[in-house]
């Protein structure tokens, strides 16, 4: 009898070993029925190469994970991250092709943790394409060129003046936290007509926790980063619902802002619900502050280093000339003055080129994608790594050097495919001009009215999103007239 039990156990172990070996082999050497897969390694089953990918990199340069594989396999290679079979590209031409294929052979895709954070209503709806078109038009109506020109520009300048004046009264400020707070307050006030000082929540901290949880396995267990992320998501979602309900129940006449439009659309659009409206409000606030506040931090790091005096001097010359050409020096910045800036856009471009706050731009193949003699199978994820494209020495000489003057000679064809800070194709960020206006106005006020010195911090780290270890702290002082 015991021999029979032992025999059965041994048989089960043998079968389990054979099954796992077969599964592991298929995972490590996936089949491609309609062609040849790109070269690369799939790593261990399920885990893939996630551990290697998540090793922190203390540099603004391309992550070592990507650089090593590009050197070994080329600019298109396969891997597996967070349980997903994936192809990564660092080639501008391939990346542009992927962007142009959206809606045909590839679709928008978000990581599972991002889906969970924003909710299935926004990400996985059968009307996703329609929703994204609706959102694009809605956001453009609020922060597009016309709105910026006619309404938002003076309000942005006023808020930046108030923020910098407040910073100058403090012993030091942490750049990302303060700029993020400034942008969030701007978005809440101008688009949702909400005074953030009424809230007991720290929106910057709660939304920043999301960034930390985004690249983690979505395991909602107490003690995990993702669990903290989801706790904050519930608080933020409830806050947005409260703002929505307060406006719906208000007896004041409509304000004509983003929130009013959302409330009207809840009544008119079949796909829209209060839950989805609240999620859209979260997405709007998050998209507004994260990339720009990270860019501000990197910009201030560069404007404070050894090469800073030359850049700051040229910025000051440009912005002081704008003031000197006015009849009234204290007049607010006009749209014509903003559009007349020539050096400031180069500083912004160089900052965005070197920042690349997110690990990459992702899409999902909805059919086999044939490219450069390889096949990306249906269902696989495709990641375009902006950092590697922006740090390509063939396109940008001495790429780790902060050099705004390089933009004097960069051709438009390089900008179109090798400079993609706001994405590409149909998904080019609708808030691009909004972000550039905020940065331009910030530099205008900063260099003409203030001086600053570094207090502490300044170590860039990619894990895998860009952050600054310990933050970057500066002391801001008003210039003496």
The CA distance from 183 to 160, in Å, is 9
The CA distance from 198 to 21, in Å, is 59
Structure tokens at 219: 């395991």
The CA distance from 337 to 344, in Å, is 12
Of the candidates 445, 440, 432, which has an alpha carbon nearest to the alpha carbon of residue 160? 445
The structure tokens 């009849």 sit at 327
Of the candidates 258, 249, 256, which has an alpha carbon nearest to the alpha carbon of residue 283? 258
Structure tokens at 218: 């979505």
> For residue 38, how many other CB atoms are within 10 A of its CB?
22
Query: Do residues 466 and 354 lie in contact, with contact meaning Cβ atoms separated by under 8 Å?
Result: no
The CA distance from 447 to 465, in Å, is 29
Residue 178 counted as an annotated binding residue: no
The structure tokens 């399920």 sit at 46
Host H or E run for residue 131: helix 128-143
**Residues annotated within a binding site for heme:** 429
**Residues annotated within a binding site:** 429
């Amino acid at each position: 009898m015991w021999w029979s039990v032992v025999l059965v156990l041994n048989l089960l172990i043998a079968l389990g070993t054979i099954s796992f070996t077969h599964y592991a082999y298929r995972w490590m050497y996936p089949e491609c029925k309609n062609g040849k897969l790109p070269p690369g390694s799939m790593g261990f089953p399920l885990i893939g190469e996630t551990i290697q990918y998540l090793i922190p990199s203390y540099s603004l340069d391309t992550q070592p994970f990507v650089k090593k594989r590009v050197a070994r396999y080329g600019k298109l290679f396969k891997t597996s991250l967070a349980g997903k079979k994936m192809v990564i590209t660092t080639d501008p031409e391939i990346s542009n092709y992927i962007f142009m294929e959206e809606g045909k052979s590839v679709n928008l895709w978000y990581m599972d943790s991002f889906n969970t954070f924003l909710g299935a209503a926004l990400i996985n709806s059968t009307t996703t394409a329609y929703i994204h078109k609706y959102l694009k038009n809605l956001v453009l109506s609020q922060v597009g060129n016309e709105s910026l020109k006619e309404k938002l520009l003076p309000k942005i300048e006023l808020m930046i003046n108030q923020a910098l004046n407040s910073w100058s009264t403090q012993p030091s400020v942490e750049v990302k936290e303060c700029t993020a707070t400034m942008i969030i307050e701007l978005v809440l006030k101008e688009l949702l007509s909400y005074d953030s000082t009424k809230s007991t929540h720290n929106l910057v901290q709660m939304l920043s926790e999301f960034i930390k949880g985004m690249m983690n396995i979505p395991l909602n267990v107490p003690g995990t980063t993702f669990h903290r992320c989801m706790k904050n998501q519930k608080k933020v979602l409830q806050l947005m619902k409260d703002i929505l309900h307060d406006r719906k129940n208000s007896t004041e006449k409509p304000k004509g802002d983003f929130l009013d439009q959302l409330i009207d659309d809840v009544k008119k659009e079949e796909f829209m619900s209060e839950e989805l409206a609240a999620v859209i409000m979260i997405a709007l606030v998050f998209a507004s502050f994260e990339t720009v506040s990270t860019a501000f931090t990197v910009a201030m790091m560069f404007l404070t280093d050894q090469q800073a005096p030359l850049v700051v001097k040229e910025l000051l010359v440009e912005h002081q000339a704008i003031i000197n050409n006015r009849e009234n020096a204290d007049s607010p910045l006009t749209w014509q003055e903003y559009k007349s800036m020539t050096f400031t856009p180069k500083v912004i471009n160089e900052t965005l080129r070197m920042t690349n706050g997110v690990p990459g731009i992702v899409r999902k193949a909805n059919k086999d994608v044939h490219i450069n003699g390889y096949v990306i199978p249906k269902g696989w994820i495709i990641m375009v790594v902006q950092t590697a494209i922006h740090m390509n020495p063939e396109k940008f000489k001495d790429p780790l050097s902060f050099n705004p003057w390089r933009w004097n000679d960069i051709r438009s064809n390089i900008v179109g495919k090798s400079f993609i800070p706001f994405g590409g194709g149909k998904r080019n960020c609708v808030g691009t001009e909004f972000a550039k206006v905020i940065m331009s106005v910030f530099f205008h006020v900063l260099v003409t009215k203030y001086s600053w010195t570094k207090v502490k911090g300044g170590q860039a780290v990619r894990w895998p999103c860009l952050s600054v270890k310990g933050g970057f702290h500066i002391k801001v002082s008003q210039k003496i007239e």
